[in-house]
Amino acid sequence: MLQTRPGHRYARLMSVGGYRGSRVVDNAEMCTMIDSSDEWIRQRTGIVERRWATDDETPLSMSVAAARKAIERAGLVPDQISAIIVSTVSHFKQTPSLACEVAAELGCPAPAAFDISAACAGFSYGVGLAEGMIRSGSSDYVLVIGVEVLSRLTDFDDRSTAFLFSDGAGAVVVGPSDVPGIGPTVWGSDPKATKVIEIGDWKQLTTAGETPYIHMDGRTVFLWATTFIADKTKEALALAGLAPDELDVFIPHQANNRITDSMLRHLKLPESVVVSRDIVHMGNSSAASVPLGMEALLESGEATSGQTALIIGFGAGLVFSGQVVTLP
Ligand SMILES: CC(C)(COP(=O)(O)OP(=O)(O)OC[C@H]1O[C@@H](n2cnc3c(N)ncnc32)[C@H](O)[C@@H]1OP(=O)(O)O)[C@@H](O)C(=O)NCCC(=O)NCCS
């Protein structure tokens, strides 16, 4: 009979760290690039300003900055990281993975390292994977990073998407725990909806020298998020054995404040639940949006370590993923 490793009983988020692109682009500046208005953007999405990377801020530099914070806040050193999972759709290289480059930059000796492509759901996919890796015994401390530079994939001839996206990185360290710190992951995809959000063919980069831009059917995403995803959010809460009034914090993917409002109505969460509205000053940073929202709530004191938070991501694929976590 084959021998297997004894795993850890439970896993938890030990820390979170973030990095935001340093260029602040408000709606007034955005409206010099597209035919729109501050009022329209605020009313349709809640966005007041967004953060973009400058030329010297890259997926690698932002990932490393977020990861250093998370590792230090976990009380660890890079040597102790046994696996790195990076979720991104904006790493402009097929190989090596961004996770391998992050490992090299951080000086981690030999971690398992790989990227995943699950767009705006990627962070929660990574947390689900990390939890399984720790409980199976294949890793002790897993660094999960969500990072994007969507401003470099934005088509400024498309006014229905250009104002949404932003650049940043969020990282958590997931480690062993004596008590459950990560609830069951609800995840899946909709294979009928592969064309709803797409980033064009990378061949464009080499053949035509053009950037492959994000194309999105915003209305379809909106409808899907406010119906199907709202139900999946309820499922994640129920699987963790929590009633809505036992939840402290709700951190949905920061896609649109109106989507968040609709989910809140659907979930019937009590007023006491703290809700992430990080999109207002950040825009939609895809895989980075949930950890950045988490860090912001913890830093402002609106949320505190030990509280229960429901996180949910949804986006291109279409894919979704969510779970209840204990805040680090
Ligand atoms: C993108 C989004 C904000 C658009 O809002 P909407 O209310 O659905 O807007 P519509 O696309 O229906 O367009 C409504 C009108 O506004 C116009 N419009 C579109 N973009 C505009 C802009 N930037 N400024 C002003 N008017 C705009 C449209 O031309 C349309 O005009 P019409 O009625 O004369 O044809 C919204 O669909 C959304 O947030 N979807 C989810 C997208 C998302 O989160 N994706 C990320 C992946 S998770």
228-239 per-position pLDDT tens digit: 999 999 999 999
What tokens does 252 get?
A: 């949905």
Q: Is 8 a known active-site residue?
A: no
Confidence at residue 92, expressed as pLDDT on a 0 to 100 scale: 85
Phi, psi angle pair for 61, to nearest 5° = -65, -40
Class of the CATH domain delimited by 10-177? alpha beta
Predicted confidence (pLDDT) per residue in 89-144, tens digit? 999 888 999 999 999 999 999 999 999 999 999 999 999 999 999 999 999 999 99
Q: What is the pTM of this model?
A: 0.95
289 lines ligand 1 (CB under 6 A): no
* Percentage of residues of the chain with pLDDT beyond 70: 98
Q: Is 253 a known active-site residue?
A: yes
Distance 315 CA to ligand 1 centre (A): 16
Same fold yes or no, 10-177 and 186-326: yes
**Closest C-alpha among 15, 37, 17, 19 to residue 28:** 37
Closest-CA residue, ligand 1 atom 46, reads: 255
Which amino acid is it at 267? Answer: L
C-alpha 67/C-alpha 70 separation (Å) is 5
Return the domain boundaries, the chain.
10-177, 186-326
Q: Cα 13 from chain centroid?
A: 14
Counting atoms of ligand 1 from 1, which one is nearest the CA of 160? 20
Distance 51 CA to ligand 1 centre (A): 20
| Topology adopted by domain 186-326 | Peroxisomal Thiolase; Chain A, domain 1 (3.40.47)
216 lines ligand 1 (CB under 6 A): yes
Q: Are 21 and 51 in contact (CB under 8 A)?
A: yes
Distance 225 CA to ligand 1 centre (A): 15
C-alpha 34/C-alpha 62 separation (Å) is 27
Q: Is the pLDDT of residue 41 over 80?
A: yes
Distance 165 CA to ligand 1 centre (A): 13
C-alpha 4/C-alpha 297 separation (Å) is 40
